[in-house]
Amino acid sequence: MVAPPKAPLDSTTTIPSTGSKLVPSIQTKHEAALGTLLREMLACKDSIPLYSGLRQSKWQQMLQIGIYVLQNSAWPAIWASEHLDLGPNTVQSLDDADVMYTTWDHLEAYIDSGKTLTLPTVVRGEIPQQRHSESSVRQQFSERMEDRFGNNKIDVQDPSIHIDQASARAVPTAEVLQRLEQAKKHLSNDSLPYNLLNLRDVVEKPIPDILERRRFQLINSLSDRALSRKGSNSVAGKPHTDPIKNAAGEPYIDFYSCRSFNLYAQRGAVSGCHIDWLNGTWARLWTGLKAWPVMTNLTEQEMERYKKFESLYLPEKNRLKMVVLEPGDTLIMPPGTMVVHAPITIEDALMDGGMFWDEQQILSILRNIHTVANHPGLSNELVARQFAGVMDALEKWIESDAKRFAGSRDEGDFKAEFQEILADLKSVISCDCAAPHCKPAKCPCFQSRSGCSHWCASHKSRSCQQ
């Protein structure tokens, strides 16, 4: 269970103000909505009957985490682009900021100047779908879900599930759509919020232009390179979509599917602290309102505590910095920066997004992936089944063109450090199960990842290979 908050809970508590260290318009706009959500969570927690099954459900856990996060987060120190009408910066230097707020034009100029993103960044967009057209975007989403998934089932984070069970269950599409049509205005123990976390991109909006740049296309490029190495007969095209039962014998790279996704969550949905395993994410809000508390620069003591409690980790007071996303906002959690986050849905929210890498940050990215692979509970995702093949493609690429990735560093030093990190990854993302084949209930590749790979050198020919 989640450890109790340090301070007593009460219905009037809101996120602590940081006085002059706050862009006033952001706090003024959102603190009332956050306070209302907190009071509703407290009311739900206090009204769960003593002998109700909800006492031992994910909902009880979700409420505890949500209440703690809302009460113990602080507004961030913000550095904002001068083009944004947000008031004065809360810090004089970007080096002292927790979060950067900017525009797409300013971000492009920032990248063009040779700088690298290292902070969680909120980009205020000029997309046409603003709040007045949220209903049409939501309707389009529902229609596409119905047309594409039909009678199939969708993975849903269901808070009614017992605390000791997996948090997601497969729910018929029709049932999910019926729930989504009933927009949640208030929290209630009688109608718990659904959270759809495992959706492919059905909204299919264009990705931000800046992420189309060559240096940010590394995930796409490596996926295609890995696919082409599956065999001499491989051709460019759409891979098979079943990574486990591949009756057609076609190659499948689920690593590529990480590049785009949709998220839909109802009011009150909470995710515990986690890190995205691929270590580079953008997420754009189309409808609703989303709280996205973030935490960076963990101390050694904080990291050890995080590894111990995993998704139940509750950072010290004021360590989580509250970011609130409005429709049109895009949050970038940059590759190479470990960003712990614990999203909370304030209003029913539809998002699209994707994972991306910066080829100039590849060593930092792989170090962070090693940390998550070594402690899978830090993330809510499995390491992609084809990660080993993708790393083989990257190794070959670096061997032939190290300068592209090394930048101003000595190429020999860069290659040596890459090989050291790669060896560490291979030691973690593999198993040494005995013959004749792996048992999923015991094999670490199936317990904390999505299956074995050819890095499991002791049994390359086994059926547990994809």
Rg value, the chain, Cα: 22
Closest CA to 296 of 332, 259, 255: 332
318, 360, 364, 393 from 400: Cα distances, Å: 46, 16, 20, 11
16 Rama sector, left if φ>0, alpha if ψ -120 to 50, beta otherwise: beta
The pTM (predicted TM-score) of the whole model is 0.88
> How buried is residue 16: exposed, middle or buried, by Cβ count under 10 Å (0-12/13-18/19+)?
middle
Helix (H/G/I), strand (E/B), else coil: 199: strand
> pLDDT digit string (tens) for 115-169?
999 999 999 876 544 444 677 788 888 899 999 888 899 889 999 999 988 888 8
- Block means of pLDDT (10 residues each) for the chain, length 466 residues? 38 46 74 96 95 91 97 93 73 89 92 94 71 72 90 90 88 90 85 87 88 94 79 45 41 66 94 94 95 97 96 96 95 98 96 94 96 91 83 96 94 97 92 75 75 74 57
Q: Where does residue 70 rank: exposed (0-12), middle (13-18), buried (19+ CB within 10 A)?
A: buried
pLDDT in the model for residue 8: 35
pLDDT, residue 132, reads 45
Report in angstroms the alpha-carbon separations of 23 from 26, 86, 90.
6, 6, 6
**Is the Cβ–Cβ distance between 446 and 244 less than 8 Å?**
no
Q: What span, in angstroms and rounded, lies between the C-alpha atoms of 111 and 396?
A: 27
Which run of H or of E encompasses 288? strand 281-291
CA distance 415 to 394: 12
Token duo for residue 425? 């990854």
Domains belonging to the chain, first-starting first, are 1-207+260-358 (2.60.120), 430-466 (no CATH)
Q: What is the pLDDT of residue 6?
A: 38
Distance CA 122, CA 106 (A): 12
Strand 329-333 with 121-124, pairing: antiparallel
Query: In the prediction, which pLDDT does 403 show?
Result: 96
